């Protein structure tokens, strides 16, 4: 019972700290590596929620494929250093802080106003069964087969689009 | 004792906010793109949390499709960034203003 709380605290703190570090590092390569750490700790959180299949897909697809792609592009373009946040215009800075504070307060207020934990309690056995590969595969190839095919076409068209965009030199 | 659902939701809200800060403050187009990925993942965390607490598989399938769309989006977006870099030799979004009137 307590190991659940220990694991949640560990993964959640890694997740939050690496997210903050990711947006504050000036070097984009280090940002990308912190994002990989963030995705891996998110996969750990998915495991504490008994979503095994999504946790594995998170590590393979996000932390593996997509982030390697990002690192390739960063190293290909070798972008210059950028100005830090605190060196930017004061007006812009106040505007950004106001928007961010508004969004965070709004979301947290809604969460604590609606009090979902009084209505929703987790049944461990049921949630264990929900996240298994068998269950997800059965559901995906019966009820969700049309979105699955559509995702395949989407990825095909994205591949062709990326090839066309990156190959041709526009005037 | 069980972890209340609010813990996961607040963590997700925090990550989403950090993503917004990244989009608004960073000037490098690739890092802005990575912040968008962070926001997508915070939404995924909410979906998985509700899916697990309600015992409904729909949320996890939705996350699977979000991953597919995110992969497509990353491919096209980074190709656009490469095309822009070829033309303007920069990825700083302050200098990419040809659509600004």
Would residue B99 count as lying in a domain?
no
The SS3 call for residue B36 is helix
In total, how many domains does chain B have? 1
Answer whether residue B93 is part of any domain: no
With a cut of 60, say whether residue A137 has pLDDT above it: yes
Q: Is the pLDDT of residue B39 over 90?
A: yes
Domains (ranges, CATH) in chain A?
1-82 (1.20.120.1200)
Q: Which of A55-69, A92-106, B30-44, B45-59 has the lowest mean pLDDT?
A: A92-106
Determine, yes or no, domain membership for B54: yes
* pLDDT value of residue A83: 61
Q: Give me the sign of the Cα torsion angle A151, A167, A67, A31.
A: negative
Kindly tell me if the per-residue pLDDT of B51 is higher than 70.
Answer: yes
Query: Is residue B17 scored above 80 in pLDDT?
Result: yes
Contact B16 A107 (CB under 8 A): yes
Distance CA A52, CA A47 (A): 6
Question: SS3 of B92, please?
Answer: strand
CA-nearest of A69, A88, A71 to A79 is A71
Select the residue of B10, B38, B68 nearest A19 (Cβ to Cβ): B38
Give the confidence band of A18 by pLDDT, cuts at 50, 70, 90. Answer: very high
Tell me the per-residue pLDDT of A1-12, one tens digit each, with 9 for 90 and over.
688 899 999 999
Identify whether B60 is part of a domain: yes
CA atoms of A34 and A142, how far apart (whole Å): 38
Query: How much is the ipTM here?
Result: 0.92
CB contact under 8 A, B19 and A31: no
A84 pLDDT exceeds 80?
Answer: no
Q: Which domain holds residue B42?
A: 5-88
pLDDT at residue B65, as a whole number:
94
Q: Is residue B33 part of a domain?
A: yes
Indicate yes or no: CB of B48 within 8 angstroms of CB of A108. Answer: no
In a domain, B100, yes or no: no
Which residue, among A35, A69, A32, A116, has the nearest Cα to B72 in the 3D structure? Answer: A69
> Residue A170 pLDDT more than 90?
no
Contacts of B47 in chain A (CB under 8 A): none
B95 domain residue, yes or no: no
CATH number at residue B25: 1.10.287.3510
Does residue B66 sit within a domain?
A: yes
């Amino acid at each position: 019972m307590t190991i659940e709380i220990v694991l949640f605290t560990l993964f959640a703190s890694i997740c939050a700290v690496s997210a903050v570090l990711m947006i504050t590092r000036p070097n984009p390569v280090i940002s990308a590596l912190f994002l990989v750490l963030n995705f891996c700790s998110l996969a750990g959180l998915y495991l504490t929620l008994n979503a095994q299949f999504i946790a594995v897909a998170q590590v393979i697809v996000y932390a593996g494929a997509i982030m390697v792609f990002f690192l390739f592009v960063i190293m290909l373009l070798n972008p210059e250093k950028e100005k830090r946040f605190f060196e930017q215009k004061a007006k812009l800075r106040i505007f950004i802080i106001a928007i961010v504070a508004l969004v965070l307060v709004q979301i947290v207020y809604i969460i604590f106003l609606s009090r979902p934990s009084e209505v929703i309690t987790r049944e461990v056995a049921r949630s264990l069964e929900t996240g298994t590969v068998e269950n997800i595969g059965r559901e995906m190839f019966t009820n969700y087969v049309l979105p699955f095919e559509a995702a395949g076409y989407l990825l095909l068209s994205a591949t062709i689009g990326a090839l066309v965009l990156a190959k041709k030199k526009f005037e | 004792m069980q972890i209340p659902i609010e813990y996961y939701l607040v963590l997700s809200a925090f990550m989403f906010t950090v993503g917004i800060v990244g989009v608004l403050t960073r000037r490098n187009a690739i890092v802005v793109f990575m912040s968008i990925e962070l926001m997508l993942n915070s939404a995924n965390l909410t979906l998985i949390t509700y899916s697990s607490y309600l015992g409904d598989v729909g949320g996890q399938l939705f996350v699977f499709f979000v991953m597919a769309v995110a992969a497509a989006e990353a491919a096209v977006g980074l190709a656009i960034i490469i095309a822009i870099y070829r033309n303007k030799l920069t990825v700083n979004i302050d200098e990419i203003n040809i659509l600004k009137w």
